[in-house]
Amino acid sequence: MNITMVGTGYVGLVSGAGLADFGMQVICVDKDTDRIERLNRGEIPFYEPGLEELVTKNVRNGRLSFTTDLRMAVERSLVIFIAVGTPDNSQGQPDLSQVEEVAKRLAEIIDDYKVLVVKSTVPVGTNRWVKEVLQANMKKDVKIDVVSNPEFLREGSAIEDFMRPDRVVLGSDSQRALAIVKDVYRALYLIESPFVLTNLETAELIKYASNSFLATKISFINEVANICEEVGADVHHVARAMGLDGRIGPKFLHPGPGYGGSCFHKDTLAFAHLGRSLERPVRIVEAVIQVNRDQRKRMITKIEDALGPLEGKIVGILGLTFKPNTSDVRESPALDIAQTLLNKGATIKAYDPAGMDEFKKVVRDEKVSYCNSAYEVAKGADALVFLTEWNEFRNLDLKKLKKNLSTPVILDLRNIYEPERMAELGFKYSGVGRGTNI
Ligand SMILES: NC(=O)c1ccc[n+]([C@@H]2O[C@H](COP(=O)([O-])OP(=O)(O)OC[C@H]3O[C@@H](n4cnc5c(N)ncnc54)[C@H](O)[C@@H]3O)[C@@H](O)[C@H]2O)c1
């Protein structure tokens, strides 16, 4: 079967390469000419483990190609996926202009039956609206079915998530379209991945409810961590014991500087907005958003408690991405925290294994210098702040770090190290929710 994937970002490129690996003939389309040229040269525009190998393999076997020519791709395809961005519009609602632009272009091009599959995360009602946009702009009177197929992959393990998803959600009014898209995912059907077949609105809501729930777990454990700090409890023990309860589960109970990434931020805002617009406020999600904002501020207080006034201080930051194994810095806590440190007069030395290029595009400040290793960051710094738990930060030579630091202060905001050991080594150390000797 021939498929068009519109958008070659994290979701589109992983899904396109994944579907090609399932045996589909996939044409990936992007309006970003530079990105398509790079992909045609074999360059992957962002870091995602295993993606380069998957793309190379499927380009070589002739099942995956890249173009800016939407018309050519659509003419050859029965199924068209939309995986363009839906960023927050800064008023708490997703900006649907990329989706609308694609829908209008498709309306000009399509001249026989197609199935349009919306993979982008979009508010409830958007798939129906996309159908209206298509119908209002169609040049020819042909039938198009729309299927909502929200994506749940996690950056950093996106390939594994796409190849072995916990579930595939498909929503549509059309049984014919559902059967066609199920066929696209036949490989997953064969390995017995659960499929949830439902209507458009339900599929759309599943995505927001899922991400909001995960964000809730993170904000919840961050609040528990803050209480732990007051009463002398260890949040790791609390989280482990909670997680051993099968009804709770161990995942997403890691305290830290607050959730980041493009999805949780905008999806919680959008879900809260939906509730308000229906006069059914989702009060838990409203609180989750506020707790996350406060958690970032709390991290600044921790740094100030350790260093005193930040004016003139040199702060070393290890980790800039919102999580390990990605180059993505969208909504990364490091952005907020670095900006606040700069506003308060600090100078920053930073290192991240994959995210420095993206970070530089957002934080353009001569008071930030970029280094090649954790040890280089530590040299002459007044404190080291861990903001992403990359594996390479887990086994650092702590004696060397201490020697390089001008004062041995570590703010381990991802709880990578053990407080007792750090105190024994002579560090002034604070994690999140685990006691401190600062
Ligand atoms: N990033 C994730 O981990 C993730 C996970 C699940 C769901 N999602 C959702 O998937 C969607 C895509 O997210 P992403 O992170 O891959 O976005 P992204 O911003 O990385 O990529 C979007 C791509 O779409 C392209 N594009 C925009 N308009 C276009 C047009 N008119 N024609 C062709 N290409 C166009 C852009 O050039 C860009 O390459 C969003 O709705 C997001 O919420 C993302």
Assign residue 237 the CATH number of its domain: 3.40.50.720
Q: Closest residue (by CA) to atom 13 of ligand 1?
A: 85
Q: Choose one of 198, 222, 256: the last residue of a domain.
A: 198
Q: What is the pLDDT of residue 344?
A: 98
**Residue 174 reports pLDDT greater than 90:** yes
Domains in the chain: how many in total? 2
- Atom in ligand 1 nearest the alpha carbon of residue 155: 3
**pLDDT above 70 coverage of the chain, percent:** 100
- Atom in ligand 1 nearest the alpha carbon of residue 35: 39
Q: Would 203 be classed as within a structural domain?
A: no
Q: What is the pLDDT of residue 435?
A: 83
268 plus 409 within the same structural domain: yes
Task: Burial-class residue 117 by CB neighbours within 10 Å (0-12, 13-18, 19+).
Answer: buried
Instruction: Of 135-144, 230-239, 284-293, 322-331, give the lowest mean pLDDT range.
Output: 135-144
- Atom in ligand 1 nearest the alpha carbon of residue 68: 33
Q: Would 184 be classed as within a structural domain?
A: yes
**Residue 139 reports pLDDT greater than 90:** no
Task: Report residue 90's pLDDT band, with 50, 70 and 90 as the boundaries.
Answer: confident
**Residue 183 reports pLDDT greater than 90:** yes
Q: Would 276 be classed as within a structural domain?
A: yes
pLDDT in tens, 33-45: 999 999 999 999 9
- 15, 187 Cβ separation under 8 angstroms: no
* Average of per-residue pLDDT across 182-186: 97
Q: Choose one of 154, 173, 198: the last residue of a domain.
A: 198
**Residue 370 reports pLDDT greater than 90:** yes
**Residue 398 reports pLDDT greater than 90:** yes
194 plus 273 within the same structural domain: no
Protein residues whose CB sits closer than 6 Å to any atom of ligand 1:
6-12, 29-32, 35, 83-86, 98, 101-102, 120-121, 151, 153, 155, 262-263
**Which range marks the domain in which residue 86 is found?**
2-198
Q: What is the pLDDT of residue 152?
A: 98
* Average of per-residue pLDDT across 290-297: 98
**Residue 229 reports pLDDT greater than 90:** yes
Tokens at 88, concatenated: 């927050």
Q: Is 429 helix (H, G, I), strand (E, B) or coil?
A: strand
pLDDT in tens, 242-289: 999 999 999 999 999 999 999 999 999 999 999 999 999 999 999 999
Task: Report residue 356's pLDDT band, with 50, 70 and 90 as the boundaries.
Answer: very high
Contacts of 61 (CB under 8 A, 6+ apart): none
- 413, 299 Cβ separation under 8 angstroms: yes
Tokens at 419, concatenated: 């407080």
- 267, 206 Cβ separation under 8 angstroms: no
- Mean pLDDT (the chain, rounded): 97
Task: Burial-class residue 128 by CB neighbours within 10 Å (0-12, 13-18, 19+).
Answer: middle
Please report how the helices 10-21 and 51-60 are oriented relative to each other, as an axis angle in degrees rounded to 10: 50
Q: Would 204 be classed as within a structural domain?
A: no
